[in-house]
Chain A
Amino acid sequence: MIAEHLPALQVVIPLMAAPLCILLHRASGAWFVSLVASWCSFAVAVALLGQVQAGGPISYPLGDWAPPWGIEYRVDMVSAFVLVIVSTIGAVVIPYARASVEREVPSDRAYLFYCMYCLCLTGMLGIAITGDAFNLFVFLEIASLSSYVLVSMGADRRALMAAYRYLIMGTIGATFYIIGVGLLYMMTGTLNMADLAERLPAVAETRTILTALAFLTVGISLKLALFPLHLWLPNAYAFAPSVVTAFLAATATKVAVYALIRIYFTIFGGIDVFETMAVREVLMGLAIVAMFAGSLVAVYQNNVKRMLAYSSIAQIGYMVLGISIASVTGLSGGIIHLFNHALMKGALFLALGCVVLRLGSAHVRDLDGIGRRMPLTMAAFVLGGLSLIGVPLTVGFVSKWTLIQAALERGWWPLAVIILLTSLLAVIYVWRIVEVSYFRPVPEGAADIAEAPASMLVPLWVLAGACVYFGARAEQTVTIARAAAATLLGVSP
């Protein structure tokens, strides 16, 4: 009975937890509710992935209204994988949040923080699970609106401005998306993705559809911070509370990448957008520029949070690059990087949150000798950094390996060279932090600081450990990602 309704529960549990947080009105109560909700979502997502692996895609008509009239929740390999990514990060971040939120968010607003967190989780899970283009917009807005609030809760006054800019850009993105969906509806009269996929090829050549595709692409590109539409991201990540940065960096952009994949390969699945609609050139070009620009700017950043934010822009470039290659290997490279980047950026930002908790700053000049003062935290940071570079036995290597293979498969070897080159840029900015934290002496007269509390170290090390575990045992993720890519492209894996 419950197994049947898992798709609905996936979204309903965190959605119901949100008002409960408000009703409880106390930080500890709200935290506990979010903890239970996150862990339940995680369990549901894992169960769903198991069901899909065993029995193929699941279709769940909401309220028993049959699709395409009613809203359909549809769980296939890709969505199940993204659900697991998002809910894992949620489940890992929430135990960590308690101590960090206590330090960075005023206590009378902490319950609001948890409420917004639950809504944000709801939105992102919803985006991943829904099979309806308009419903996706609704969840996109739930996730976005709540994340604006989360960002604005940062202790720094600039957080408000950052959230405001994020709000404007996010809203434009959502508007573009809904305009695109509107145009599609105009031509096909349906909002269900599978139904759209069937009806679109007949009208593919019309200007309306071409315009719709342009609007959808730009709208989602804004949400996933594809260069040069990334401008809202660095400040939002830099000034948000540490937990929010870790959570959003690991999930929000990933979900947007997922939406982009859905648009290209499910909604427009009947048309080869990459060959016929000049999408590839722009996407690939922007991805490459993002990889270079993001990494280069990251090299010179002095606020480590900002540095990692720019590195995220570069990493999003890798994912989009994988999509734009549009072969099974390329797409699976993008999907693997989705997962791997969630792990490594999650770990890096969590480590940084521990540093902020003790030092009150994430500026490079304050990190002298931090490796000796907080050995466990910084060791995890180094693991995350190694993954970012793509050192073998870490997840980063698996992603880059797959992407390079995909590029060579198509015979586009300059792409492979570019991937290697940008990895070297990552060496530079990661090394900067390693040098400061391990090779500089601890400043004279610095106050003694303790290692972060266990409630933060355990989640941090879960992610850092996962970076190595899934780097060494890559078959699981590679198999899932390949299966997902094959489903999307409609070929056998």
Chain B
Amino acid sequence: MTTNPALILIFGALPIPLLQGRLRTAYLLALPLVGLGYAFALEPGLHWQVDFMGYGLELLRVDRLSRVFSYIFFFAAFLGNLYALNDNDPVQQVAAQVYAGSAIGAVFAGDLITLFVFWELTAVSSVFLIWARGTERAYRAGMRFLIIQVGSGVLLLAGLILNVRDTGSIAFDLLGVTSPGTALIFIAFGIKCAFPFLHNWLQDTYPEATVSGTVILSVFTTKLAVYALARGYAGTEMLIWIGATMTAFPIFYAVIENDLRRVLSYSLNNQLGFMVVGIGIGTEMSVNGTVAHAFTHILYKALLFMSMGAVLFRTGTIKGSELGGLYKSMPLTATFCIVGAASISAFPLFSGFISKALIITAAANEGYWLIWAVLLFASAGVFHHSGIKIPFFAFFAHDSGKRVQEAPWNMLLAMGIAAALCIGIGVWPGPLYAILPFPVDFQPYTSAHVINQLQLLFFSALAFTWLMRTGLYPPEMRSTNLDSDVVYRKLLPWLVRRFLAVFGPVDRAARRLATESVERLIAVVFRRTGPKSVLARTVAVGGMVLWVIVLLGVYLLLNFT
């Protein structure tokens, strides 16, 4: 029996509150690295079987797919710990280790019950990273997050129970949407993966977490879902369309959003779309692309969140309209942010390029030309809002007059390592390709790929410049409140007004109806079951005896008829 390396993080988290000062620093940095080393040493195979109510639990299944995810998860946990060192908040530190550990445990789970346990554990542990912000707003956001995440777990449980009845097996292998059980599991994964219409929790809650909390959150929950989909639903055609929608629609929101961490949350959603498309196509190349993209995405997205976190940490705000000109006071952070932006935009020689190319090429190889076009459009959009907007509004644009210190050393170091990896993987993709689930026969640096991508980036940059020049780009309207729909009207005045005129009242009415009916339901339930209600009152003896007689009567009646 070999122990699941996840337990190193989960149980390793327990002594954290007891340690102080440098000892805790060293411990926090060493813990994920020990786990990483342990994960490296694992041989493929089933290592830890436990009998539970007649089912064989596979607590540690090591294969190429689970291994690559465990590496990046451990490494991201290390970066997160390094970045969060100056927090000195044991609650967050313990929560982050348990959260990372449970995500890794889920990746190594060979059966659905084990997966379910770790799935719920990620939900419960991660919410503390949101609550740690300590505001009422964060508390409520955390509550919403928890309900949705636990709900996803309950669906997973329901699906797994139905699946056990159908197939008699709890194994977590390729499932496919073939029965009500597997469909429920699919939805459970979809919620965590932020499928369209199931995605709101992500943009709602990630920007509400603490500075380091958002960085850590951005790594695990959604990528765990990507892993689970890749394992259970590779080749499910529906995913191609779901993924394509995911790549496209968040772009519009990201462009008009003012909270830069929320912009990044939208772009996170869009990047997930690429991965989901890759899973849906289901060829060796596309699944490789998904895994590679998850790998690089974790690094550059964490890097972007880290740089925005550093800005929030120093300036106290993350609103695009209040920032600008920070490159003078935070030059290193600005540089790292640009590296992250270049990676997410898939500039050649940056990590995003070598992974996204796999997915887009796979789509073209399989003849999904419409999807291919959507992905290209989405790539341009990514460059627009994450590649240009984020660094531009935070560090350049009009000078906000803010003069702050550079980020603390540990944040800089974490960002520096992530940035170095983004470039390193972009220049030498070989080592990453070598650990992907399937053998890779792909050369990203062909002239066609490079020129194609550069053209795309060039025109996207052109569009941004033109919008800025003509004053059409939303956040440059200093006098307007960027949260309002004024932005829409300037950008697409006619269409939006029509849209709002028709759907605004409908939407408002629907929302009012929903809120009111929930409130009415709660009122009814309270009236029936509250402390003073019929059900909760202390009934007189006569009343109790009456029930006895009624019940006796019912039994006699039923038996004699």
Contacts and interface: CB of A to CB of B under 8 A. Distances in A.
A297 B541 contact: no
B536 A300 contact: yes
A172 B545 CA distance: 8
B551 A277 contact: no
B531 A217 contact: no
A300 B526 contact: yes
Contacts of B556: 210-211, 214
A231 B544 contact: yes
Nearest to A169: B544
Nearest to A423: B154
Contacts, number: 114
Contacts of A420: 154, 157-158
Contact of B116 (A165, A282, A297, A392): A392
B551 to A, nearest CB: 5
28 contacts: A168-B541, A168-B545, A169-B541, A169-B548, A172-B548, A214-B552, A214-B556, A218-B551, A222-B548, A229-B551, A231-B538, A278-B558, A278-B559, A282-B555, A296-B525, A296-B529, A297-B536, A300-B530, A301-B536, A392-B117, A392-B120, A393-B117, A398-B53, A405-B164, A405-B165, A408-B161, A474-B52, A478-B54
A408 B543 CA distance: 37
A282 B554 contact: yes
Given A393-B117, A474-B53, A478-B54, A277 B552 contact: no
A174 interface: no
Nearest to A298: B529
A392 B536 CA distance: 31
B510 interface: no
Contacts of B441: none
B155 to A, nearest CB: 10
A234 B544 CA distance: 13
A296 B552 contact: no
Interface string B110-152: 0001001100100000000000000000010000000000100
Interface residues of B, number: 42
B16 to A, nearest CB: 16
Given A408-B165, A474-B53, A392 B113 contact: yes
B544 A218 contact: no
A300 B531 contact: yes
Closest 5 A/B residue pairs (Cβ): A214-B555, A278-B558, A296-B529, A210-B559, A231-B544
A165 B541 contact: yes
Given A228-B547, A408-B162, A296 B535 contact: yes
Interface in A193-216: 207, 210-211, 213-215
A354 B161 CA distance: 38
Nearest to A482: B54
B550 to A, nearest CB: 8
Instruction: Indicate the member of A165, A168, A300, A301 with the most B CB atoms within 10 Å.
Output: A300
Interface residues of A, number: 54
B560 interface: yes
Contacts of A217: 555
A221 B548 CA distance: 9
A402 to B, nearest CB: 8
Contacts of B54: 475, 478
B535 A404 contact: no
Given A169-B541, A214-B559, A392-B120, 16 more contacts: A169-B548, A210-B560, A211-B556, A211-B559, A215-B552, A228-B551, A231-B538, A231-B543, A234-B538, A278-B555, A278-B559, A282-B551, A282-B554, A297-B535, A392-B113, A405-B161
Contacts of B117: 392-393
A207 B535 CA distance: 34
Contacts of B403: none
Contact of B161 (A228, A310, A416, A475): A416
B551 A293 contact: no
B548 A229 contact: yes
B53 A231 contact: no
Contacts of A159: none
Given A168-B541, A229-B547, A278-B558, A218 B53 contact: no
A401 interface: yes
Instruction: Indicate the member of A207, A231, A235 with the most B CB atoms within 10 Å.
Output: A231
A258 B161 CA distance: 28
Contacts of B51: 475
B277 to A, nearest CB: 33
B528 interface: yes
B23 interface: no
B239 to A, nearest CB: 27
Contacts of B528: 296
Contact of A218 (B52, B536, B555): B555
A221 B106 CA distance: 44
Contacts of B164: 405
B370 to A, nearest CB: 39
A225 to B, nearest CB: 11
Nearest to A471: B52
A484 interface: no
Given A282-B555, A296-B528, A300-B526, A218 B162 contact: no
A229 B539 CA distance: 11
A402 B116 CA distance: 17
A299 interface: yes
Nearest to B561: A278
A277 B554 CA distance: 12
A144 to B, nearest CB: 16
Contacts of B139: 439
Contacts of A405: 161, 164-165
B544 A229 contact: yes
B496 to A, nearest CB: 40
Interface string A246-266: 000000000000000000000
Interface in A389-416: 391-393, 398, 401-402, 404-405, 408-409, 416
Instruction: Indicate the member of A214, A277, A439 with the most B CB atoms within 10 Å.
Output: A214
Contacts of B158: 416-417, 420
Interface string A221-248: 1100000110110110000000000000
